[in-house]
Amino acid sequence: MVVAVSVASSAGVSPADDSADTELETHIVDAPRNAEGRAAQEAEWAGEYDGRQHWSLREAYLIHRNRLRVAQADLFRLKLLLDAHFSSQSTPLRDLDLSIWERVADFCFGQGQAVAFLAGWRKPLPDPSPTMVCIARKRPLLKFEVASGEWDCVSVSRRDARVVCHDGRLHRTGRRLEMTHKKFTLDCVYGSDISDAEFYHDAVRPLVTSLNGSEATVIFYGQTGTGKTHTFNACWQRIGCDLAGRTISVTFFEILGKKCFDLLQQRKEVNLRSDGEERVHVRGAAKLTAISSELPELLEEALQLRRSEATERNSLSSRSHAICVLDIDGLGTIRFVDLAGSERNYETRYMTAQQHRDFAEINKSLMALKDCFRAHARIARQRTARAPYRASRLTQVLRSCFTDPEHRTLILSTVSPTATDLLHSTNSLLQVTQMSTALSTLRAECSVDLPLVDFAASIPIWEWSEEDVDRWIRTVDNGRFKYLVLPPQITGAALLKLSSKGLAELFEMSMRRARGRGEGQAWNETAAKEVGFRIGRMVFAAVRRETLRWPDGAARLTEAERLEATERGLLEEGLNLPPESERHCEFFFWGDTSLVPGTV
């Protein structure tokens, strides 16, 4: 049996909103002479958004997806090696210093910078806060996302309560890729393989069964289309089983901009009022009393009235914040808050003017909630902060989550696994972890450079063409020489004719001539010589490693060194070098023939 009880305003309750502003906004009407201008402005607001910048980024994801996925997997291959280093007592890996590990990681995976980043993962997990628990849940990839070429770039470890977002991007130069690994630690995390039932029993059920006369709130926070409403529905569908035999009073309303609507009274508009202790009440809302077995049917009917629309991101996107309050007889009160999801600009291209205004109101309330998150975090660190609770209807309702020391709050951040949604996923995790001082100190990130193209030589270096050399120089040593421009007509055979000293002098002369032409004014002779020798030695070492990979490579290097030593000896004795066609170091004095005796 369901009993309806109307909630009347109590004495001493004052309006939570400015009634004058509400009246003005409700009754203001454009004068007839402004109608044409108003229509033109609304048409402009509803215009198409230029999403070319986003699509270029999207295309870069698809073009380089395989390289980015390999880099993502390489991070965890390196982690396995480091786990053996830290945990094993008998393996030789135990004796390696982290600086050696950096060189190994750089050689094998091109991610030497990730060693210190991974070593920091071994910090112990903090004890959960008794009043504020932060968790995350990752949804699985959807069929249309797989069909469009998306991949899972969010790694979850439930054992370590860790989420790692792998943000791969094309550098603005277009010559290399950047992979940024961003680690977030929460009180608990759930991967896409966790069922709704397991999530409820592990995360929400302990909060419900341990109320003991107190109040609690579960907030579902995240981007639209990440599973907030799905998880919200899964929770209230199962809560009745844990409350068998109990009587439950239900209040269910939605916040849409500056207005509130009762979902138990056919979306009747209701008002928020605050009492002298700043506790917010919903004036005019119905409170229905039901037994636990009737709860799912009651809430299902109310949810049918909730405001939702099809958007470019989500075919059934919630356009309001839904708040379900369950007052459980003899146990306490728990609130489930399903927030409207955030969206990016390019996902609002085809919205009408009214939809744009609704979208702005949603973002305004979410920004106010983020500001409250930040203020609460500063207060927890014993810093001065003022939380803007009155900035929106949403933060007014949730004020007790931040101000009542006995109120327990569970914040769930739902995240998408796709690369396209990664910006929103990292932002959601950042905002949620800010609520805990201990969790925020465990955030970390690491950026590594990746070669833009993979070059796997199928022929020896001495048979390479100019194109092969160009591709090799951009990828060798994880793209270390990606900005280097070699002299023209450099083939693989020509590379072998340059020793370490020869390459060093080549780069030194190149920079010296550039300085003489007015290029690179900051270079002086000493700096040019030092940089030239350093680059030359590094390139020569890379050439030598590549040569030694092939049969006869060692013999060719030995012969090249012998010929160069002979020609250097002739030069030092003041003798003429062999004709240019027979000279081994044909590029040794590239562009500076005045240094060669016998040349004009």
Instruction: Evaluate whether 511 touches 520 at the Cβ level (below 8 Å).
Output: yes
Residue 415 confidence (pLDDT)? 94
The H or E element that residue 259 is part of is strand 259-262
Residues 6+ apart with CB under 8 A from 360: none
| CA 286/CA 5 separation, integer angstroms | 6
Residue 18 confidence (pLDDT)? 46
Kind of pairing, strands 215-222 and 408-415? parallel
Choices 3.30.70.20, 1.20.1090.10, 3.40.850.10, 3.40.50.300: CATH for 194-365+392-416: 3.40.850.10
Would you give the distance in Å from CA 530 to the centre of its chain? Answer: 40
Residues 6+ apart with CB under 8 A from 346: 49, 51, 54, 55
The band of 188, judged by pLDDT with boundaries at 50, 70 and 90, is: very high
Kind of pairing, strands 286-291 and 321-328? unpaired
* DSSP three-state, residue 3: strand
Model confidence at 122: pLDDT above 70 = yes
Instruction: Evaluate whether 432 touches 186 at the Cβ level (below 8 Å).
Output: yes
Instruction: Evaluate whether 280 touches 392 at the Cβ level (below 8 Å).
Output: no
Model confidence at 422: pLDDT above 80 = yes
Mean pLDDT computed over 352-365: 69
Average pLDDT, the chain: 76
Rg (CA), the chain: 33
The pLDDT tens digits of the residues spanning 501-550 come to 556 555 555 544 444 444 443 334 444 456 556 777 788 788 888 888 88
Better-scored residue on pLDDT, 470 or 90: 470
User: Angle CA(211)–CA(216)–CA(221) in degrees, nearest 5?
Assistant: 140
Instruction: Evaluate whether 236 touches 296 at the Cβ level (below 8 Å).
Output: yes
**Does pTM surpass 0.85?**
no
Token pair listed for 42: 């609304």
| CA 89/CA 81 separation, integer angstroms | 14
Mean pLDDT computed over 192-220: 92
The band of 35, judged by pLDDT with boundaries at 50, 70 and 90, is: low
* DSSP three-state, residue 518: coil
Token pair listed for 167: 């943000």
Domains in the chain: boundaries: 194-365+392-416, 461-595
Mean pLDDT computed over 475-503: 71
Token pair listed for 93: 């890996």
Token pair listed for 65: 């997806």
Residue 11 confidence (pLDDT)? 41
Would you give the distance in Å from CA 387 to the centre of its chain? Answer: 26
Of the chain, the percentage scoring pLDDT greater than 70 comes to 72
Mean pLDDT computed over 305-321: 60
Of the chain, the percentage scoring pLDDT greater than 90 comes to 20
Residue 55 confidence (pLDDT)? 45
- The burial of 428, by beta-carbon neighbours within 10 Å (0-12 exposed, 13-18 middle, 19 or more buried), is given as buried
Q: Please report the beta strands in 295-389, taking only residues with DSSP state E, as ranges in sequence order.
A: 308-309, 317-318, 321-328, 332-338
The pLDDT tens digits of the residues spanning 551-591 come to 888 888 888 778 777 877 777 777 776 665 665 554 343 33
| CA 208/CA 241 separation, integer angstroms | 11
Token pair listed for 378: 């500063």
| CA 266/CA 305 separation, integer angstroms | 7
Residue 444 confidence (pLDDT)? 95
The H or E element that residue 256 is part of is strand 247-256
Strongest mean pLDDT among 330-344, 402-416, 479-493: 402-416
Strongest mean pLDDT among 94-98, 228-232, 469-473, 560-564: 228-232
Residue-by-residue DSSP string for 480-520? TTTT--PPTT--HHHHHT--HHHHHHHHHHHHHHHHHTTS-
Residues 6+ apart with CB under 8 A from 433: 134, 184, 185, 186, 439, 440, 442, 443
Residue 426 confidence (pLDDT)? 93
Per the listing, tokens 């100190």 go with 441
Residue 522 confidence (pLDDT)? 39
Model confidence at 78: pLDDT above 90 = yes
| CA 307/CA 254 separation, integer angstroms | 8
Token pair listed for 195: 């069922």
The pLDDT tens digits of the residues spanning 425-462 come to 998 999 889 888 889 889 999 998 887 766 778 889 88
Phi first, then psi: what are they for 34, rounded to 5°? -95, -5
Instruction: Evaluate whether 251 touches 285 at the Cβ level (below 8 Å).
Output: yes
| CA 473/CA 538 separation, integer angstroms | 11
| CA 323/CA 263 separation, integer angstroms | 10
Instruction: Evaluate whether 71 touches 179 at the Cβ level (below 8 Å).
Output: yes
Count the helix, strand and coil residues of the chain and give each as a percent rounded to the nearest 5. Answer: 45, 20, 35
Residue 217 confidence (pLDDT)? 94
Model confidence at 75: pLDDT above 90 = yes
Number of H helices, E strands in the chain: 21, 19
Instruction: Evaluate whether 317 touches 232 at the Cβ level (below 8 Å).
Output: no
Mean pLDDT computed over 276-286: 83
Residue 588 confidence (pLDDT)? 40
| CA 569/CA 585 separation, integer angstroms | 13
Mean pLDDT computed over 124-130: 83
* DSSP three-state, residue 422: helix
Phi first, then psi: what are they for 437, rounded to 5°? -60, -40
Residue 65: count other Cβ atoms within 10 Å of its Cβ.
16
| CA 102/CA 104 separation, integer angstroms | 5
User: Angle CA(316)–CA(321)–CA(324) in degrees, nearest 5?
Assistant: 105
| CA 343/CA 178 separation, integer angstroms | 25
The pLDDT tens digits of the residues spanning 233-255 come to 888 888 888 887 788 899 999 98
Would you give the distance in Å from CA 523 to the centre of its chain? Answer: 39
Residue 412 confidence (pLDDT)? 95
Residue 23 confidence (pLDDT)? 41
Residue type, 332: G
| CA 413/CA 134 separation, integer angstroms | 8
The band of 14, judged by pLDDT with boundaries at 50, 70 and 90, is: very low
Residue 326 confidence (pLDDT)? 92
Model confidence at 56: pLDDT above 70 = no
| CA 485/CA 467 separation, integer angstroms | 13
Instruction: Evaluate whether 476 touches 488 at the Cβ level (below 8 Å).
Output: no
| CA 269/CA 294 separation, integer angstroms | 25
